Amino acid sequence: MSASPLDGIDPTTPGTPESHTEALQRDIDLLTELHEQVLSEAGGAELLRIVRTLVDACREPASGRAGSEADVLVDSLDAATTAEVARAVTVHLHLTNLSEERQRVRSLRAEDGEFTGGIEAGGVASALAALSREGTSVLTRLQGLSIHPVLTAHPTEARRRAVTSALVRIAAQLDRYDDPHNGATERAHARRRLLEDIDILQRTSTLRRDRPEPRDEVKTMLSVFDQTLFRAVPRLYRTVEAALPGEEGRRGGRVPAFVRFGTWVGGDRDGNPYVTAAVTRETLTAQAHEALTLLASHADRVARTLTMDTVTTPPSDALHASLEADAVALPGTFAEIAKNSPGEPHRQKVLVVAARVEATLAEQVGLAYAGPEEMLADLHLVQDSLLAAGDHRSARGELQALIWLVETFGFHLAELEVRQHSHVHERVLLDLFAQLGPEHVADPEAAVADAEFLDRLAREGWPRHVSPSTDMGREVLDTIRVVAWLQKRWGRGSCGRYIISFTRRAGDLAAVRALARLAVGDRPLELDVIPLFETGEDLHNAPSILADLAELPGTQEVWAAQGRRVEVMVGYSDSAKDVGPASATLTLDRAERELVAWAAESDVQLTLFHGRGGSLGRGGGPLHRAIMAQPSGSVDGRFKVTEQGEVIFARYGDVMIGQRHLERLTSAVLLADAPQVASAREAAAERYRNLAEVVDAQSRGCYLALVGQEGFADLIAAVSPLDEIGDLRLGSRPSRRSGTDTGRSLADLRAIPWVFSWAQTRVNLPGWYGLGSGLSAVGDVELLRRAYAEWPLFASMIDVAEMSLAKADRALAERFLALGERPDLAHQILTEYDLARRLVLEVLDQEELLERKPHLRTAVGLRLPYIDALSLLQHKALRVLRLPVDPRREDRPDRAAWTQTLLLTVNGAAAGLQNTG
């Protein structure tokens, strides 16, 4: 590992700031030096030599081929040594990721949160200025703005929490070591601690021994709010406030709290038997405890700063009256507050607020707030009093930040959403209809698809009470009852969205309302049942399904109660697995346009909920550019999107990075439907409509011709660690929806392990397969280049494919594919790879991938030799495990040892590729 990880990266590449490369190089050099010292001190001199030799050999262009120096070295290693090498290389990749994250933070600090490059850079100031130039009232636009990230429990974070904790400690000591104000002694202490924590990291198993439970996932999710979001969100609002242009900025216009968070952690039971009604209730209880604890702490901190007295800052009559009421309602508490804060009424009131939040946490009757609205009323009372007294700075200072926190997070932290598969509701209804008998339901099979009948049950009630006879049925009804209880305890905003996976018809949505009527009767429950359209066929049928839904009387009642606000979720991952990445991109665009048209005809306010994965094969990639590529009217100031797995920690693991990510979301959503942007985008979409139709049809045909072949589902299992991924224990959810261990079905395979497995083989098929045939069918490179320059959707599709291809490796892919003993399929895949790579480069007018994306090129390039090393080690482990074993041979391989080694390489490659699933 002595060679520079940045070898081959030209620091003078146009667009690459020299300081970026130098600072990144300095961090990696130091951490590499310390890591090598740790390995040597642990008696690993020979291990260190092997790792250095292997990585240096993997820098050679042909290192992935059979018979290369790297391949010969790997072939000579036994299982134990292979595992040790994989562990050492994995640690190096974790340290590389840490170095790059630090560099991102340094860049943000140096540039004050704004990258150069204008609107495309995602700066809030440039977005607001652009809107102002178009004559738009920025404050009016902000009033209607809604940014709604939803954190999911999808198991794509391959790092253990112990590994993450060690990296956090290392980052803290690096900050201490780099601090220019620290002298030699302090730096020596920091270096000692760095060695200690790197030693711990090297000795810490990267593999989980036990599968996480949903409760563990909840703890991990809560840490994101505690460590990052409670600080990042007020900073976001401050950035927007400071960027208000012209007269609105001079007036100090109040920025509304336009961010809301959702979560599926503890609520997503689609294919996860471990998420129960009890888990959902416990999850929101834990969220509320976290929210109230944080709000009480912030309120107490703000209160202790409001030390202005009655002479300089007299209280308003309303504040004075409120304090008199508090003295009666909280005699003991208020007496102590008044004693410690004499003559400081504003401080007294906010201390009362803090005390009442703590009472809410302790569920003290008479002292607790009934909801966040009561807390906000008290805080606004203080703010109005300060403004009336002329103290604008205190009124709009940290007190305003506290108000933003309450408005954003409430007492529940994030809205807990429930998700379940449509087939589950169908099975439960069949059971219940069988109990009703033929006098009420003549044909149960037809009744479960009869939207009008189900809607009538939801509105009028069931003809007689029935109870489910299965655990599945009892769990579905208990879940709905828990949602009703949570709403009563924590308010409507705490839990109320119920998402239906694989929505195929209007009856799938009416079914949930019918089940809800059986579960809670006439008791209060506000349930927003949201369709999730995932497959290519369902996306195509989405407008007609919604049209059928709109005809139901119950639907119109619900929509009227919701102010005719309708939410529809579209899935990226399963649509890509269904029809291929290029066709899925164009299918989603077409479906969204049709949904926008349907919403306009139906007089509803549509919010599209984007189910994007973190990886490139699941709709990942640069989110700012993807938002700007959305069809006009599909955003309109409202954007809801899933954030999952390693993406959560990449975007929200650091306060400044989290703030910057939210800024980019904000600017993109503000600009997406700005007149000038929208008109240019729609003109381009119309100009290149025929091109899109050709790419769609040809790429889809190419993709289906591959995945539809007999034995294709067996191929991915043979050439990748698909079957072993479950042993990584990434999350609580099984890798297959059915939960079966036998049979090989592409439809049953979840998108996450599908993408994860292809990434490990270095084929990255879900990110590009079929695109080459689609581009080739157009047959006009100049036309394709113009489309890339003028049409954001097409540009986004090409950029995602470029990144996916950049992380692939043809030589390694060829060797992994050979393990499947299907040369016909391997040839088909590699031929399309060659075509896609050649045409993407032609469209981009480049010689090499990422040629014009220097930061990405650096990020990928500095990891590749290490990822290639792990890929070679993984290939050997797979080769050993896939070969038939003669039980009579005494020298047969230790399958348990090689399986463990395989998992280590999978974990390490995931850390390096940074796109698990």
CB 241 within 8 A of CB 259: no
Q: What does the alpha-carbon distance between residue 869 and residue 863 come to, in Å, rounded to a whole number? A: 10
Residue 434: pLDDT over 90: yes
> What would the pLDDT profile of 200-224 be if each residue is shown by its tens digit?
999 988 776 666 678 888 988 898 9
Percent of the chain whose predicted confidence (pLDDT) is above 70:
89
Answer yes or no: do 527 and 459 share one domain: yes
Residue 16's pLDDT is: 43
> Is 146 inside a domain boundary?
no
- Confirm whether 759 is domain-assigned: yes
| Integer Rg of the chain from CA | 29
Tell whether 415 is covered by a domain: no
Instruction: Indicate the helix (H) or strand (E) that contains 637.
Output: none
462: left (phi over 0), alpha (psi -120 to 50) or beta: beta
Give the DSSP per-residue string, 254-284: PPP--B--EE-TTTB-TT-TT--HHHHHHHH
**432 and 298 within one domain:** no
Q: Collapsing DSSP states into helix, strand and coil, what is residue 640? A: strand
Strands of the sheet with 638-644, listed across from one edge: 415-416, 262-263, 146-152, 638-644, 605-611, 565-571, 528-533, 497-501, 418-421
pLDDT digits (tens, 9 = 90+) for 234-282: 999 999 999 998 665 555 568 999 999 999 999 999 878 889 999 999 9
How many CB atoms are closer than 10 A to CB 521?
12
Tell me the helix, strand and coil percentages in the chain, rounded to 5. 65, 5, 30
The token pair that represents 216 in the structure block:
């563990």
Q: With the CA atoms of 225, 227, 233 and 239 taken in that order, what torsion angle do they form, in degrees rounded to the nearest 10? A: -170
pLDDT band, very low/low/confident/very high, at 120 (cuts 50, 70, 90):
very low
Domains contained in the chain, number: 3
Considering the domain architecture, whether residues 601 and 721 belong to the same structural domain is answered as no
Contact residues for 301 (Cβ-Cβ < 8 A; gap 6+):
398
DSSP per-residue letters across 56-114? HHHTSTTTTSTTSHHHHHHHT--HHHHHHHHHHHHHHHHHHHHHHHHHHHHHHHHTTT-
| Cβ atoms < 10 Å from Cβ of 2 | 11
Note whether 445 and 405 are within 8 A (CB). no
Residue where the block lists tokens 């090598």: 36
Contact 24/103 with Cβ under 8 angstroms? yes
Look at residue 11 and tell me whether its pLDDT is greater than 60.
Answer: no
Which range among 121-125, 648-652, 758-762 shows the weakest confidence by mean pLDDT? 121-125
Q: Which domain holds residue 369?
A: 290-407
Three-class DSSP category at 501: strand
Task: Tell me if 745 sits within 8 A of 751, measured CB to CB.
Answer: no
Confidence of residue 358 (pLDDT cuts 50, 70, 90): very high
Neighbours of 240 (CB within 10 A): 23
Point out the domain boundary residue: 349, 377, 407. Answer: 407
Q: Is the dihedral of CA 119, 121, 126, 127 positive or negative?
A: positive
> Does 431 lie in the same domain as 383?
no
Does residue 622 belong to any structural domain of this protein?
A: no
Provide the pLDDT for residue 102.
87
Residue 767 has a pLDDT of 93
What is the average per-residue pLDDT within 802-812? 95
Question: Is 383 contained in some domain?
Answer: yes
Statement to judge: residues 694 and 820 lie in one domain: yes
Q: Do residues 838 and 690 share a domain?
A: yes
Residue owning tokens 């996916």: 804
The verdict on 428 and 450 lying in the same domain is yes
Two tokens at 519? Answer: 């579960």
859-889 pLDDT per residue, tens: 888 899 999 999 999 999 999 998 776 565 6
Q: What is the CATH number of the domain that holds 558?
A: 3.20.20
Residue 330 token pair: 């909280």
Decide which of 840, 861, 882 is a domain's last residue: 861
Q: Is 780 exposed, middle or buried (0-12, 13-18, 19+ CB in 10 A)?
A: exposed
Same domain, 432 and 559: yes
318-348 confidence digits (pLDDT tens): 999 999 999 999 999 999 999 999 999 999 9
Place of tokens 């730096």: 187
Task: Report pLDDT for 133.
Answer: 85
Is residue 579 located within the same domain as residue 455?
yes
Q: Is 500 part of a structural domain of the chain?
A: yes
Last residue of a domain, one of 350, 373, 407: 407
User: What's the confidence (pLDDT) of residue 626?
Assistant: 86
304-313, 539-548, 640-649, 743-752: which has the minimum mean pLDDT?
743-752
pLDDT tens, position by position, 44-94: 789 999 999 999 999 998 899 999 999 999 999 999 999 999 999 999 999
Determine contact, residues 70/57, Cβ cutoff 8 Å.
Answer: yes
Task: Give me the numbers of helices (H) and strands (E) for the chain, helices first please.
Answer: 42, 9
pLDDT at 615: 44
Residue of 501, 707, 704 lying closest to 587 (CA atoms): 704
pLDDT value, residue 130: 87
Whether residue 892 is contained in a domain is answered as: no
3-state SS class at 857: helix
- Which residues 6+ apart lie within 8 Å of 747 measured at CB? none
CA 108/CA 114 separation, integer angstroms: 7
**Cα separation, 830 vs 825, whole angstroms:** 9
Question: Quick one: pLDDT at residue 155?
Answer: 46
pLDDT at 415: 98
User: Helix axis angle, 781-790 relative to 675-687, nearest 10°?
Assistant: 160
Task: Tell me the pairing of strands 605-611 and 565-571.
Answer: parallel
CA-based torsion, 384, 387, 388, 389: positive or negative? positive
Q: What is the mean pLDDT of the chain?
A: 89
What are the residue numbers of the active site? Answer: 154, 577
Task: Please report the pLDDT score of residue 633 as a whole number.
Answer: 92
Q: Are residues 492 and 595 in the same domain?
A: yes
Predicted local distance difference test score (pLDDT) of residue 135? 79
Q: Please tell me which residue, 721 or 105, carries the higher pLDDT value.
A: 721
Say if residues 69 and 56 touch (Cβ distance below 8 Å).
Answer: no
Mapping DSSP to helix (H, G, I), strand (E, B) and coil, where does residue 181 land? coil
Q: Residues 804, 705: one domain?
A: yes
pLDDT at position 185 is: 94
Confidence of residue 164 (pLDDT cuts 50, 70, 90): confident
Is residue 657 over pLDDT 80? yes
pLDDT band at 914 (very low <50, low <70, confident <90, very high): confident
User: Which amino acid is residue 446, in one-letter code?
Assistant: A
Between residues 366 and 615, the one the model is more confident about:
366
Residues 451 and 597 in one domain: yes
- Percent of the chain's residues with pLDDT above 90: 72
State how far the Cα of 665 lies from the Cα of 663, in Å rounded to an integer.
5
User: Is 484 within a domain?
Assistant: yes
